[in-house]
Copies of this chain bind each other. A is one copy, B any other.
Amino acid sequence: MKEILEQAYGYIFEEALLLEIEKVAIYKEFKAEEYLIEIGDYIKSMPLLLHGAIKILREDENGDELLLYFLERGDTCAMTLTCCMGKSKSKIRAIAENDGAMLMIPVEKMEEWLTKYKTWRNFVFESYNIRLNEMLEAIDTLAFMNLDERLYKYLTDKAKVIGNTEINNTHQQIAYDMHTSRVVISRLLKSLEIQGKIKLHRNKIEIVAL
């Protein structure tokens, strides 16, 4: 664990903090598709992502979903920060995009380190900033882009996160993430294929040029 921690966070945290993390953190592995946080959960520990990717979803009263953004190595979830500090329930759902691992930090430590370590404080604020910017990007996408553009962005973003230009998804799964219907996604994917931007296969979409 020491090595992985060093590898993912060594360049941001000072030695003393790394040692403390090592002492109290719980190492947790997860599998693709695993539900990590459900809406309404109380969160008692804060995750530091070591490897793998996690997708963060929002849901409305009718159970309709919308993908907000992805978390990657070195990320933590600002919603978790929010919930830890404010002791409120999670307003989002987190699902593993692929296999991965993370460290769980108890809430008390999180608060304690804020005064004790400048690098931790910076990390926490930096995380908030990144998350706010991701949210702004999500808003831009919704407000200013058409569905076909949003779809292409979805595909390329996903390709970046999983590090592969081949995306193993059904049209239905994409429709859920984007909060639209399967027919619409099929239609737009077909038109992207005609434009030469992607190639369609069963259960697989290939991005021609990233």
A138 to B143, CA, bound (A): 10
**How far apart are A81's CB and chain B's nearest CB, in angstroms?**
8
Interface positions, chain A 85-113, Cβ under 8 Å from B, are: 85-86, 88, 91-92
- Convert A135-167 into 0s and 1s, putting 1 for each residue whose CB lies closer than 8 angstroms to a CB of B: 110111011100000000000000000000000
Tell me if B68 and A139 are in contact (CB < 8 A): yes
A139 to B138, CA, bound (A): 7
Size bracket, chain A contacts: 35 or more
Which residue of chain B has the shortest Cβ distance to A84 in the bound complex? B125
Q: Is A3 an interface residue (CB 8 A)?
A: no
A91 to B140, CA, bound (A): 11
State which of A11-19, A43-51, A58-66, A193-201 sits at the interface with chain B. Answer: A58-66
Report B-chain residues with C-beta under 8 Å of the C-beta of A82.
128-129, 132-133
Report B-chain residues with C-beta under 8 Å of the C-beta of A133.
82, 91
Report B-chain residues with C-beta under 8 Å of the C-beta of A143.
58, 60, 64, 66, 142, 179
Q: Is A121 an interface residue (CB 8 A)?
A: yes
**How far apart are A47's CB and chain B's nearest CB, in angstroms?**
17
Q: Is A34 an interface residue (CB 8 A)?
A: no
